[in-house]
Amino acid sequence: MTVLVETRVVSKAYGAFLALDQVSVAVREGELVSIVGPNGAGKTTLVNLLTGLMRPTSGEVLFMGMNIAGIGPVALADRGVARAFQLIEIFPKLTVAETIAAAVVSRQKKRWRLFSRLAADAEVNARVAAVAELFGLRHRLDILAAALSQGEKKLLDVASAFALDPLVILLDEPTSGVSTADKHAIMKTLIAAAKQAAVKGIVLVEHDMDLVASYSHRVIALSEGKVIADLPPNRFFTDPHLIEVVIGKRGGH
């Protein structure tokens, strides 16, 4: 299988503190890979490296074999990697349509210089409607994003990342703050949307082990900045030591 995004022997130091220590991970075509670990394990640092927000102190970060270390999320989205940010918290006064359109325009701005204004608007509107349809938000386009239910807000966050037309999408706890019943509905929706949108790989940072067990192809566990496991879920969840390291420190939740 084609390797989409990877780190090779990556370390990241903040002064004397080593947040990541020689971490090598890879996400291949067709995979949903979950990154798990107790608080302070290095998960956020790893995702920030994978999304070009920061450079490693040493090692390589690659997308489709190209160096993406520190290029930033905008340049990375142009290459084909998108990260779901909580745009609703940043732009609460925008409607659902405007929130998705902001991502669509940022992704395709270069191409639209060739269009007339009217054709560009029609193109944006068509893409917004298509993305909203994937996430069951077509009937909510004129609603203020802030007025959505918590579950719909999460779907809109992910939809905005999908509007960037990525090959790989990184999701940081996409179901946090929603009910257990809604969590599975959201995961099923975004996985179905990924298939329809030809997304090749998903990286999921998640605390909810039920979701990790249900949807992952592989589970990468971090502890104290090191990879302590890279296993399919059936092997990961039958290892009592791994469960203790990853979940035990969080009070079993």
Domains of the chain: which residue ranges?
A: 3-80+166-250
Can you give the pTM of this predicted structure?
A: 0.89
Report pLDDT for 36.
96
Report pLDDT for 128.
94
The phi and psi torsions of 146 (rounded to 5 degrees) equal -65, -20
C-beta separation of 24 from 8 below 8 A: yes
Residue 66, sorted as left (phi over 0), alpha (psi -120 to 50) or beta, turns out to be beta
Report pLDDT for 253.
32
Q: How far from each other are the two terminal CA atoms of the chain, in whole angstroms?
A: 34
Q: How far apart are CA 30 and CA 4, in angstroms?
A: 10
**CATH code at 3-80+166-250:** 3.40.50.300
Q: What is the DSSP string of 59-123?
A: EEEEETTEE-TT--HHHHHHHTEEE---HHHH-TTSBHHHHHHHHHHHHHHHHHTTS-HHHHHHH
Report pLDDT for 113.
52
Report pLDDT for 240.
92
Residue 58, sorted as left (phi over 0), alpha (psi -120 to 50) or beta, turns out to be beta
Q: What is the mean pLDDT of each run of 10 residues along the chain (253 residues)?
A: 94 95 96 94 93 94 94 88 78 89 75 54 89 95 93 92 92 89 93 93 94 96 96 95 78 35
The phi and psi torsions of 68 (rounded to 5 degrees) equal -120, 15
Q: How far apart are CA 194 and CA 181, in angstroms?
A: 21
